[in-house]
Structure 1
Amino acid sequence: MLQRLRQLITPKDAPNERAARGQLGEKKAAQLLKKKGLRILHRNWRAGKDELDIIALDGATFVFVEVRSRNASAKVSGYHSVTAKKKACLLRACRAFLRQQRPRPAHFRFDIVEVRLGNDDELTIHHYENVSLFPDSFI
């Protein structure tokens, strides 16, 4: 899969390789979440400049998912690559989404799905559930 992706991208398209890797990662993450029984509501939901990669339902719980697509050789895991600045953007987007919901959901959580793409189409996916993002006073 990644090998095919590299074949399609020429050197002048190298900046697009990152976007293609991200799209592939989001597709694989959505497939994993569906397999686990979550219902995908939105992909790439935007609130201004902020974006939520996936919004899903796990029973009655809204799940906000950040997908981190990484090369297998990446030094920092997808889980640890979510910086304080990124968390602030995600928090703003979650608040914007929840403000639109009537009635407001009683339960929601934040997950990270890390998709590692290696050579020879090797793919590793880690799903981190209920990652700490929301402060105790979250409204």
Structure 2
Amino acid sequence: MSNKALGNQGETYAAEYLRRQGCRILTRNYRTKIGEIDIVADDHGTLVFIEVKTRRGMHYGTPAEAVHYRKQQKIVQTAHWYLREQNKENAHCRFDVLEIYAFGDLWQVNQIKNAFEA
């Protein structure tokens, strides 16, 4: 399976996981000229911008370690664009990272809430 296919499967798994946690998925793969946000969800009144990182193993560190400062800044800027577009500038927001570990048929999720600040 290619990395792109693994990433797509990871995002689908993440969306299902979030739904089971009571979140409402608002959009997936929100793109602007600035960047992309994998999932935007409503978590009981909090608007959550979620970066999903899927890995087959730990050879290159944890998935969250791949969400470096520059990537965080792109996510924040894209989130501001989303908020303006949706007329939700005053919404309560947070930024999460969902680490998805794919070990064959076994999938594990680690949700890091408030992974970084705006």
1:124 aligns with 2:108: yes
Answer with 1 or 2: which has the greater Rg.
1
1:82 aligns with 2:67: yes
SS of 1:130's partner is strand
The TM-score with structure 1 as length reference comes to 0.79
Higher helix share: 1
Specify which of 24, 47, 50 is matched with residue 62 of structure 1: 47
Q: Give the conservation status (yes or no) of the 8 Å contact 1:68–1:115.
A: yes
In 1, the alpha carbon distance for the partners of 2:85 and 2:58 equals 40
Aligned to 1:93: 78
SS of 1:19's partner is helix
Aligned to 1:32: 17
Higher strand share: 2
Alignment of 1:8-19 (within 5 A): 17-19=2-4
What letter corresponds to residue 25 of structure 1 in structure 2? G
Q: What count of residue pairs does the alignment treat as equivalent?
A: 118
Stretches of structure 1 that go unaligned for 5 or more consecutive residues are 1-5, 7-16, 135-139
Alignment deviations for residues 53-110 of structure 1 (CA, whole Å, 9 cap, x no partner): 0000012110000000111243311112111121121111111111112243430100
What letter corresponds to residue 8 of structure 2 in structure 1? Q
SS of 1:127's partner is strand
* Gap change, CA 1:49 and 1:106, over 3 Å in 2: closer
CA RMSD of aligned residues (A): 1.4
1:49 CA drift (Å): 4.5
In 1, the alpha carbon distance for the partners of 2:88 and 2:3 equals 38
Structure 1 residue runs of 4 or more that deviate by more than 4 Å after TM superposition: none
